[in-house]
């Protein structure tokens, strides 16, 4: 089953690499499809690749990714046991937020990733992902760390690691969110 999922994800990634559904394809070095365990119970969703990700073809490998790794480590999670993806798979110019129409054009890839991986918990990293996946008026500062169930999947929004690098005063609150996440994962039935 896991092998079938991995094969389906690989085929989807191949399609993603050739995608021209929105203008972001014109500025990319490569599409950044997502990485991780095809059987992951936990899916992280960011907003879109930055410079490093565009170079290396993997999400969250720049400074924001290093901070994400630290949070994972702090609560005893390993990057390899999660799956990590973004709302848009191609780098928005100058790291601007992806436009609504770019998000819309790219969402079929994320929807298919979710359908194949079937995570138990989806964590939205930052406003763009939380507003797109949880609620359009989601406020990270007010609602971070709260779990809501949507179609049988637990969803939570927390601070984007890049925002934490700019505003480190929120780091303790983010750590609490990751601790709550670990507790939820431990409480999941096998």
Report the interface residues with ligand URA, using CB under 6 A: 46-50, 53, 59-60, 62, 64, 86, 162
Which residue bears the tokens 């997502």? Answer: 34
Query: Is 38 or 48 the residue whose CB approaches ligand URA more closely?
Result: 48
> Residue 38 or 62: which CB sits closer to ligand URA?
62
By C-beta, is 12 or 90 nearer to ligand URA?
90
Shortest spacing between CB 16 and ligand URA, in angstroms: 14
Residue 58 CB, shortest distance to ligand URA, in Å, is 8
**Nearer residue to ligand URA within complex by CB, 38 or 47:** 47
Alpha helices in the chain (DSSP H): 2-17, 51-56, 63-74, 100-117, 127-133, 140-143, 161-166, 171-187
Q: Report in angstroms how near the CB of residue 148 gets to ligand URA at its nearest.
A: 21
CB of 63 to ligand URA, least distance (A): 9
Residue, CB closest to ligand URA: 46
Q: Which long-range contacts (CB under 8 A, 24 or more apart) does 15-22 make?
A: 15/109, 16/89, 16/109, 19/89, 19/90, 19/106, 19/109, 21/105, 21/106, 22/88, 22/90, 22/101, 22/102, 22/105, 22/106
In 3-state terms, what secondary structure has residue 85? strand
């Amino acid at each position: 089953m896991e092998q079938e999922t991995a094969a389906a994800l690989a085929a989807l990634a191949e399609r993603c690499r050739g995608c021209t559904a929105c203008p972001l394809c014109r500025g990319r070095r490569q599409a950044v499809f997502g990485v991780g365990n095809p059987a992951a119970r936990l899916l992280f969703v960011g907003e879109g690749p930055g410079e490093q990700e565009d170079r290396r073809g993997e999400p969250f490998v720049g400074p924001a990714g290093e901070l994400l790794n630290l949070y994972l480590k702090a609560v005893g999670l390993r990057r390899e046991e999660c799956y990590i993806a973004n709302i848009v798979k191609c780098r928005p110019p100058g790291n601007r937020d992806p436009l609504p129409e770019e998000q819309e054009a790219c969402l079929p890839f994320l929807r298919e990733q979710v359908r194949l991986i079937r995570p138990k918990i989806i964590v939205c990293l930052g406003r763009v992902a939380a507003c797109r996946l949880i609620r359009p008026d989601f406020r990270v500062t007010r609602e971070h760390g709260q779990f809501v169930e949507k179609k049988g999947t637990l969803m939570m929004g927390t601070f984007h690691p890049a925002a934490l690098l700019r505003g480190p005063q929120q780091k303790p609150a983010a750590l609490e969110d990751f601790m709550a996440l670990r507790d939820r994962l431990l409480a999941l039935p096998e």
